Structure 1
Amino acid sequence: MTLRIGCIADDFTGGTDVAAAFRRAGLRTALVFGTPDATTVLPADCDAAVVALKSRSTPADEAVADSRAAQRWLWTKGAAQIYFKYCSTFDSTPHGNIGPVTDALLDDAGATVTLHCPASPPNGRTVYQGHLFVHDQLLSDSPLRHHPLNPMTDSALIRLLSAQTPHRVALIDWTTVRRGVDAVRDALTAHQQAGVRHVIADALTDDDLAVLGAAALELPVIAGAAGLAEGIGHAYPAQGPAPAEPLPREGRAAVLAGSCSARTLEQIAHFYAAGLPSLHLDVLAAAAGRDVTGEALTWYDAQDPDRPVLIYASASPEELAAVQAQLGVAEAAAQVEELLGGLAARLTDRGVRRLLVAGGETSGAVTTALGVRAVLVGDEADPGVPWTHAGTRHGDLALMLKSGNFGAPDLFTRALATTTEGAE
């Protein structure tokens, strides 16, 4: 097997997002969770492989070490090009991890320049004059300014990235992008000759990303969100659409939500308003020693097995702040991950075969608890939100790992209603 492209994603839902993008471009795509090793096996006949790490919020040296290991493993599988996928909201801190990881990947590849673009137009993320927008708002004016781990209070990508790297950062503006592939290539070459290492590109549409993808096809390392990855995928010779993967035909359906994003809260509200069974987990009670997991399982066992259920630790910004004030940010996050990871394992023991998970850190906890190392990427329910297919000790499992901000408000009800109907 020879991969066309290898990808390193800095969280698990980001991994599913970029894997879906490659699949839309016609590449049969596998997704690997965690740093792979010699025992990690990819599904056969893959064109692209995505290694999903939990490196977005870890210390920079850990993120760099894990990303370097993933790049080395992808090279052993034949990947000639490496794509570093980060969040379309450039989710990071003033010290990393986007800059340090990209620099390390470039160093190991012997490369001197790379292209960055976090635009994802279907999800409302665009870049203009080097500023990142979320729909019609600057990133710094959007709800992401209240992100519980990495609040994004600046929208200027050159300024954000320059704080994370000792190397020069420059821009290819939208007027250049609109002139086409050759103009972008010429601009990249000019920046490289001027000693610029990180080149940020404007993009407002999928057509812009297709131009950037074609222009960057020869770069050893590229960085950005899922939109640019799809543009690169389309630049490879056409293979036709990737084959559909069947969903399990038996078993129950459930949602586990840990994200506190505004969109996830909307999805929870929609599920509840639809009259479907919903249970909120008391994180403070769990931290105090109460058997919240046991209570949740007792509740689950009493529900109609033909209806999907939702179990969530998500909270409003005010509720989250109150929990973090008592437990601390790190301990609050650890409690949520422990609760939902443990519940995922117990629910699959009880027959859940279609599992939707909301939140990047939650998704990492769930896949770790389930022992899922690699999946094949299937059809999307919404842009950037695909079903994936895994084998477990209980048989086939359909697993959807949703970034907190992704999906329409009715995603939970629509995705699980569809799979439930399809299983009958």
Structure 2
Amino acid sequence: MVLGVIADDFTGATDIASFLVQNGLSTVQINGVPSGKLDTDADAIVISLKSRSCPADQAVHDSLQALKWLQQQGAERFYFKYCSTFDSTAKGNIGPVTDALLHALGETQTVMSPALPVNGRTVYKGHLFVMDQLLSDSGMRNHPVTPMTDSNLLRLIESQAEGKAGLIDAQTLESGVEKVQQKLAKLAQENVRYVVLDALNEEHLVIQGEALSAMKLVTGGSGLAIGVARAAVKARQNKETAQEQGEEQQQAQAAGYPGGERAVVLSGSCSTMTNAQVAKYRQQAPSKAIEIAAVLENVQGYATQLCDWIAQNSAQSLAPLLYATADNEALKKIQQQYGAQKSSEAIEHLFSLIVSELKNRGWQRFIVAGGETSGVVAQTLGIDVFHIGPVISPGVPWVKAVNQPISLALKSGNFGDENFFARAQTEFPL
């Protein structure tokens, strides 16, 4: 196996898995840490955890369990994958998990590369940008769980980890792989534990991947996977032709091509982009907002009622949408009235009941927005291992369960264009 990946949430796992497949590595995604050995000849295994916003000690424990299992599978290189907007708090969880993985592997240095230029996430002089805005000026500033009020990645990682941070800037990357490796060595001599990498375009990610080919642990968003995968393919002893590599990629994606007869769209994310996507899709297909009061009053009865509504509105060309998505002001009111944790857990429970009943009624395609919601859906459906299919938007592929005829499109909150929900269906018809 070329690479073992530990992803801190479900949609983040499918995000990086799709880039690995696109760039030449056959990849299997697993929901949670398996109890036994997995029979696979995949180049990479991606383990999705639910460790982005849980207590730091739990995130560390789960990540170390994933590391141990991947080592037992034969992995020798590892990738800790987090969000391209570096979702975390002053206490973690990116820093504590990175420190724990470094310690377990006996390593003293790694890199931090959250950039994903194709989705507008870039790093310049160590500052993270979302499109043309600093991270701290973007919609992430008001995130209900991990508000990002600083854009300086060196300050962010030093505030939650146990070492010194340094920078390799875009100018050094432009100078090539050898210059990057020399800078890494110099920073190591200066006891720099976390090296933040600038990245303004895909070529910078390719240079990073080749320069880091000897590093045992890397960390970042999904963009760095482009470079890591290409470097791994390039290093293979038995060189394949471009045509052979293309055929392998097509075969890998074909295994995850969506099937199923009935579809539904479920949105739990409250991100800026998901709000825009919900607004757009409400003009195209039947849609219904979840009422938190009804959830808390009689969740089982309300779930059945909503499933009946979905069934009654499934005869049209586009699947019905059920959403808990709200803008910042509406979300604040809900949290003030019902409590942030209570309302969040109630929505997750409702989605779980709905998905379970829809599965029993024959639904086989689920288009889901939000990392937490996606995790709940996959867990409820009992899906542990996925084939990675064709890409809908950068970082968002269709995936198909290995053990049952169910297909999922699992979208991280801020990913995709405004017409994502419709395109996921029209470009890959039932």
TM over 0.5: same fold? Answer: yes
Give the structure 2 partner of residue 201 of structure 1: 197
* Residue 397 of structure 2 is aligned to residue 377 of structure 1: no
Q: Which amino acid aligns with 2:378?
A: T
Task: Report the secondary structure of 2:91's partner residue.
Answer: coil
- Counterpart Cα distance in 2 of 1:31 and 1:250: 20
User: Which of residues 25, 38, 41 in structure 1 aligns to 2:38?
Assistant: 41
Residues 24-423 of structure 1: pairs in structure 2 closer than 5 A: 24-38=22-36, 41=38, 44-238=40-234, 240-241=245-246, 242=249, 243=251, 244-245=253-254, 247-274=257-284, 276-289=285-298, 291-305=301-315, 307=317, 308-391=319-402, 395-420=404-429, 423=430
Cα RMSD over matched residues?
1.4
**Aligned-residue offset at 1:21:** 1.1
Contact 1:252–1:306, Cα closer than 8 Å, also in 2: no
User: Would you say the 8 A contact 2:258–2:389 is kept in 1?
Assistant: no
Specify whether residues 134 and 248 from structure 1 end up closer, same or farther in structure 2 by C-alpha distance, changes over 3 A only: closer
Number of aligned residue pairs: 414
Could you tell me which residue of structure 1 aligns to residue 237 of structure 2?
none
Distance 2:422 2:150 in 1: 35
Contact 1:248–1:396 (Cα < 8 Å) also in 2 = no
Change (3 A) 1:26 1:367: same
Structure 1 residue 249, shift from structure 2 partner? 4.3
Identity %: 43
> Compared with structure 1, are the counterparts of its residues 418 and 352 closer, same or farther at alpha carbon in structure 2 (3 Å cutoff)?
farther
Query: 8 Å contact 1:354–1:419 — kept in the other structure?
Result: no
Judge conservation of contact 1:168–1:195 (CA < 8 Å) in 2.
Answer: yes
Letter aligned with residue 374 of structure 1: V
Deviations 1:192-240 (A, max 9, x none): 1111111111110000011011111111100000001111001012561
Shift, 1:36, TM fit: 2.4
Relative to 1, partners in 2 of residues 1:16 and 1:368: Cα closer, same or farther, differing over 3 Å? same
- Whether the 8 Å contact between 1:356 and 1:399 is mirrored in structure 2 is yes
Q: Structure 1 residue 351: deviation in Å?
A: 1.8
Alpha-carbon contact 2:264-2:310 (below 8 Å) kept: no
CA distance in 1, matches of 2:55, 2:260: 42
TM-score, structure 1 normalization: 0.95
Report deviation, 1:248: 4.8
Q: Which of 264-273 and 298-307 deviates more? A: 298-307
Contact kept, 8 Å, 1:83 with 1:222, in 2: the verdict is: yes
Q: Give the gaps of 5 or more residues in structure 1.
A: none
Distance 2:428 2:315 in 1: 14
SS of the equivalent of 1:163 reads helix
1:10 equivalent in structure 2:
8
Superposed structure 1 runs of 4+ greater than 3 Å apart: 246-250, 304-307
Cα distance in structure 1, aligned partners of 2:367 and 2:38: 24
Question: Would the alpha carbon gap of residues 264 and 162 (structure 1) be closer, same or farther in structure 2, given more than 3 Å must change?
Answer: same
> How much does 1:306 deviate?
5.2
Task: State the TM-score, normalizing by the size of structure 2.
Answer: 0.93
Question: Within 2, Cα distance between the matches of 1:343 and 1:182?
Answer: 54
- Give a deviation string over 1:362-421, Cα, whole Å, max 9, x none: 0111111111111111111000000111045xx41111111000001101011112333x
Out of 238-247 and 154-163, give the one that drifted further: 238-247
CA distance in 1 between counterparts of 2:32 and 2:52 reads 13
1-side partners of 2:259 and 2:389: how far apart?
A: 15
Query: C-alpha displacement at 1:17, in angstroms?
Result: 0.6
Does the CA contact (< 8 Å) of 2:254 and 2:389 recur in 1? yes
Residues of 1 paired with 2:358 and 2:298: CA distance? 21
Report the residue type matching 1:210 in the other structure: V
Contact 1:281 1:292 in 2 (8 A): no
Structure 2 gaps of 5+ residues are 235-239
What displacement does 1:20 show? 0.8
The DSSP-based 3-state class of the residue aligned with 1:83 is strand
What is the Cα deviation at residue 323 of structure 1? 1.0
1:263 and 1:292 mapped to 2: Cα distance? 27
Distance 1:306 1:29 in 2: 35
Tell me the distance in 1 between the aligned counterparts of 2:258 and 2:102: 41
SS of 2:68's equivalent in the other structure is helix
Q: Aligned partners of 1:361 and 1:41: how far apart in 2?
A: 25
- State how far apart, in whole Å, the 2-side matches of 1:129 and 1:250 are: 47
